Amino acid sequence: MSNNTEIKFIDNSKEWINWIEESIVKKQIKYYDYKYFNNIQGIGLGRFGKVYRANWNNSHNYLALKLFFNFDTITKEIVNELKLHREMDFHENIIRFYGITSEIQSDDSKRYLLVMEYADNGTLRYYLSEYFENLTWNDKLNLAFQLSNAISYLHDKEIVHRNLHSNNILVNKNTIKLTDFGLSERIEELSNVQSKLFGMVTYIDPQIFNRRDSNNQLQIYTLSKKSDIYSIGILLWEISSGRPPFCNEPYDVGLAMEILQGLREKPTLNTPKDYIKIYTDCWNNEPDNRPTINQTTWNINPNS
Residue 202 sits in a domain whose CATH number is: 1.10.510.10
Yes or no: say if 192 and 198 are a contact pair by the CB < 8 Å rule.
Answer: no
3-state secondary structure of 101: strand
Q: Domain boundary at 72, 96, 117, which? A: 117
The values of phi and psi at residue 297, to 5°, are -60, -45
Residue 19 sits in a domain whose CATH number is: 3.30.200.20
Confidence of residue 187 (pLDDT cuts 50, 70, 90): very low
Tell me, yes or no, whether 183 and 64 share the same domain.
Answer: no
Tell me, yes or no, whether 129 and 105 share the same domain.
Answer: no
Q: Domain boundary at 67, 84, 117, which? A: 117
Tell me, yes or no, whether 99 and 164 share the same domain.
Answer: no
**Which pTM does this prediction carry?**
0.84
Give dist(CA 8, CA 14) in Å, integer.
10
* CB atoms inside a 10 Å sphere around CB 214: 8
Tell me, yes or no, whether 275 and 216 share the same domain.
Answer: yes
Beta 62-68 vs 97-104: how paired, if at all?
unpaired
Tell me, yes or no, whether 257 and 288 share the same domain.
Answer: yes
Tell me, yes or no, whether 92 and 49 share the same domain.
Answer: yes
Beta 31-33 vs 49-56: how paired, if at all?
unpaired
Work out the angle at residue 76's Cα, subtended by the Cα atoms of residues 73 and 81, and round it to the nearest 5 degrees: 125
Tell me, yes or no, whether 143 and 54 share the same domain.
Answer: no
Could you give the dihedral angle defined by the CA atoms of residues 17, 23, 27 and 31, in that order, rounded to the nearest 10 degrees?
Answer: -20
Pick from 107-111, 136-140, 292-296: least confident: 107-111
Yes or no: say if 279 and 295 are a contact pair by the CB < 8 Å rule.
Answer: no
Tell me, yes or no, whether 130 and 268 share the same domain.
Answer: yes
Helices (H), the chain: 3-25, 71-87, 124-131, 137-156, 186-189, 193-197, 225-241, 253-260, 273-282, 293-300
Q: Domain boundary at 96, 117, 138, which? A: 117
Give dist(CA 265, CA 262) in Å, integer.
10
- Does residue 34 surpass a pLDDT of 70? yes
Tell me, yes or no, whether 134 and 225 share the same domain.
Answer: yes
* CB atoms inside a 10 Å sphere around CB 213: 11
* CB atoms inside a 10 Å sphere around CB 132: 15
Tell me, yes or no, whether 281 and 212 share the same domain.
Answer: yes
- Does residue 167 surpass a pLDDT of 60? yes
Of 144, 76, 68, nearest in space to 112 by CA: 68
Tell me, yes or no, whether 140 and 14 share the same domain.
Answer: no
Yes or no: say if 96 and 88 are a contact pair by the CB < 8 Å rule.
Answer: no
- Does residue 283 surpass a pLDDT of 60? yes
How many distinct structural domains can be found in the chain?
2
Q: Is 66 annotated as belonging to a binding site?
A: yes
pLDDT in tens, 45-77: 876 678 999 999 989 999 999 888 766 665 666
**CA distances in angstroms from 73 to 77, 79, 86, 207, 267, listed in the order given:** 9, 12, 22, 27, 41
- Does residue 94 surpass a pLDDT of 50? yes
Yes or no: say if 186 and 77 are a contact pair by the CB < 8 Å rule.
Answer: yes
Give dist(CA 213, CA 54) in Å, integer.
49
Yes or no: say if 260 and 218 are a contact pair by the CB < 8 Å rule.
Answer: no
Tell me, yes or no, whether 170 and 224 share the same domain.
Answer: yes
Beta 49-56 vs 169-172: how paired, if at all?
unpaired
pLDDT in tens, 252-272: 889 999 999 999 999 999 999
Confidence of residue 132 (pLDDT cuts 50, 70, 90): very high
Q: Give the range of the structural domain holding residue 102, as residue numbers without chain letter.
A: 3-117
